[in-house]
Structure 1
Amino acid sequence: MKLLRMRTAFILNVLFSICMYHNFVKKFYTSIDKEKKFLLFSKVKYKIKFYINRLINIFYKNNQMHFLVDKF
């Protein structure tokens, strides 16, 4: 049961974070001039992937830490 709770919390944290960063990137992306849009698209795409991977690692470690604390 604790494992199911940990997985559910992890998935919800990741989805919430993706939504937050999607809104941030959408605002950032629409404020860019149309000429620069295509040049910066690859950089923005790379940054999004980097931050999503970073968030997944942080939430996974955080959930593991809470799971280990609950086990004792």
Structure 2
Amino acid sequence: MLLQVTFVAKWRLKTNHNYVWTTCGILINLRTSKIVKKTTNGKGIKAGYYINRKFVKIEDLKNQLEVLPTSNYNFK
């Protein structure tokens, strides 16, 4: 049985374009094609993600996001 799931990416990190967020709020690593889970740091106070083996809080991510640029390609 084969299942295919399609996500629509909307935002990405300015510093690392391998990480994108979908319209439904899921973080995906494009290099590994895996979904990155939201987690809490050691004490469980702040929620965030492990990006490139470093914990980044959601509060800090708001300044690092950009909307994916649209591209209009005309193939002939």
TM-score with structure 1 length normalisation? 0.31
TM-score of the aligned structures, taking structure 2 as reference length = 0.30
The answer to which structure has the higher strand fraction is: 2
Relative contact order higher in (CA < 8 Å, ≥ 6 apart):
1
Q: Name whichever structure is richer in helix by fraction.
A: 1
